[in-house]
Structure 1
Amino acid sequence: MSDIASELKEIGTTTLSDALDRLGIEGQCLGIKPFDHQMRLAGPAFTIRMLPVGIHGGSVGDYIDDVAPGQIVAIDNDGRLDATVWGDILTMVASRRGIGGTVIDGVCRDIDRSLELGYPIFARGNAMRTGKDRVTADAVNVTVQIAGVRIAPGDWLVGDGDGIVSLPASRLEEICATARQIAATEAKIRDAVVAGERLDKARERLRYHALQSKPAG
């Protein structure tokens, strides 16, 4: 898993996004950003679906000991900005356990701890107001959505300074192959321009404008 994670981090979200477009896969989790643009993450998703507590109560974060090293915690809190679902203690435990990072459709708090430990968190923002007695972890390892993108347990999440993409596990190899081809073509274009070729000519010769488009037919 570490080799795949390292390669995906190196490829980056912009190239993976182009590969998703070429393959007709909606995987860009728009609006979810890191708290430090140097943060990187890549790994299979451990999903959590949050719901309002209603009359039942419940806990926000008691699932954390079941997350395996290298997995990415993916929390679907329906984009809520008024109830945080991740904070200082979860960051400390996740960092100590070697968890790969956290992605939240919603907000977190205690962001200073994340920055101190270098633990990657991607979210819609941060605030101080706890989610305790407001939301609860209703289900774990179920299909959720992050920013309108469907994410099943085990789907891969990749994050960097440009945001988060989700890669369906069943098509991971195909996405990686497409992304490698796009990256190689763009590298050839850069080399051609450095060698003195006009950008428009290099793009035309190497079919740059077709890189992100679905193949005809």
Structure 2
Amino acid sequence: MSEQIEDRNVARAGRLDTATLSDAMDRLGIVGQCRAIKPRDAGFRMAGRAFTILYGPAASPPGTVGDFIDDVPPGHVIVLDNGGRTDATVWGDIMTEIAHRRGIAGTVIDGINRDVHLCLSLGYPVFSRDNWMRTGKDRVQVEATNVPVNIGDVRVAPSDILRGDADGLVSIPRGHEERILAAAEEIEAAENAIRKAVAGGMRLDEARAQYRYHQLQTRAEGAKP
């Protein structure tokens, strides 16, 4: 896939809500809805390709919690798999400040972050399970960079598209992104047509029937569960 097409697909994903993308994935039988991963602010919106980091329990002596940020390309999303831990953070204000300055699209954590005030004041999108102040230093360490990881029970591979908004986070697998984006755009067009028809005086049930609303998310024949 060419870089130009990749950039276009990130932009396409950024114009679609996570709810619409979720419906498209249901239709295609693809799991991509990252359970319990939420924005630290409902106004955060994010789209970009994944740069993944896998964490594990700290060794003795402990390894680092991560000096990877200078290797993340601008426009990418930093994706941190801390195994869903809520007792130790892997992201704070220094990382937020640098990521924001470098034009990184956002940060996703299967775990928690701290220093929420700075991501809010800078408008830097952080999606995580929760926030708490206790450091991950000497508790966790980086095990691997740019490997497949688990975020909210979803497999996220390097360069998959991450899309986040007020409703949560979805991961769009690179190998299926054209199908997912096309299906989501079709669903969005149908829903917009329903809104327009109702605004023009049509009954909602008639508009939904005309534009096949109740079939928009139905699993396509042959799609895997």
Could you say which TM-score interval applies, normalised by the shorter chain?
over 0.9
Corresponding residue SS for 2:60: coil
Q: In the alignment, what sits opposite 1:63?
A: 68
From 196, 217, 220, give the equivalent of 1:212. Answer: 217
The percentage of aligned residue pairs carrying the same residue is 55
Whether 2:85 is the aligned partner of 1:105: answer no
Task: Give the match's secondary structure for 2:15.
Answer: helix
**Which of 8, 13, 19 matches 1:8?**
13
> Could you say what the CA RMSD is over the residues aligned between the two structures, in angstroms?
1.2
Q: What is the identity, as a one-letter code, of the residue corresponding to 2:102?
A: R
> In the alignment, which residue of structure 2 is the partner of 1:30?
35
Among 172, 187, 195, the residue aligned to 1:190: 195
Structure 2 SS opposite 1:200:
helix
Alignment-mate amino acid for residue 199 of structure 2: V
- 1:56 Cα deviation from its structure 2 partner: 4.4
Task: Choose which of 167, 175, 189 in structure 2 pairs with 1:170.
Answer: 175
Task: Give, as a single letter, the amino acid of the residue that structure 2 aligns with 1:169.
Answer: R
1:52 is aligned to 2:57: yes
8 Å Cα contact 2:38-2:167 kept in structure 1: yes
- Contact persistence 2:10–2:49 (CA under 8 A): no
- Matched residue of 1:209: which SS? helix
**1:125 is the counterpart of 2:96:** no
Paired residue for 1:203? 208
User: By how many angstroms is 1:126 displaced?
Assistant: 0.6
Tell me the CA shift for residue 5 of structure 1: 3.1
Structure 1 counterpart of 2:196, which letter? D
| Paired position in structure 2 for 1:87 | 92
Q: Give unpaired runs (5+ residues) of structure 2.
A: 1-5
Aligned residues: 217
Shift of the alpha carbon at 1:55?
2.2
Deviation at 1:2, TM superposition (A): 5.0
Amino acid at match of 1:149: V
Provide the TM-score with structure 1 as the length reference: 0.96
Aligned counterparts of 1:12 and 1:205: Cα–Cα separation in 2: 23
Deviation >6 Å, runs of 4+: none
1:139 maps onto 2:144 in alignment: yes
- Provide the secondary structure at the position in 1 that maps to 2:22: helix
- Residue type matched to 2:150 in 1? Q
Q: Which moved more, 1:37-46 or 1:196-205?
A: 196-205
Structure 2 SS opposite 1:159: strand
User: Residues of 2 paired with 1:61 and 1:49: CA distance?
Assistant: 10
Structure 1 segments unaligned to the other structure (5+ residues):
none
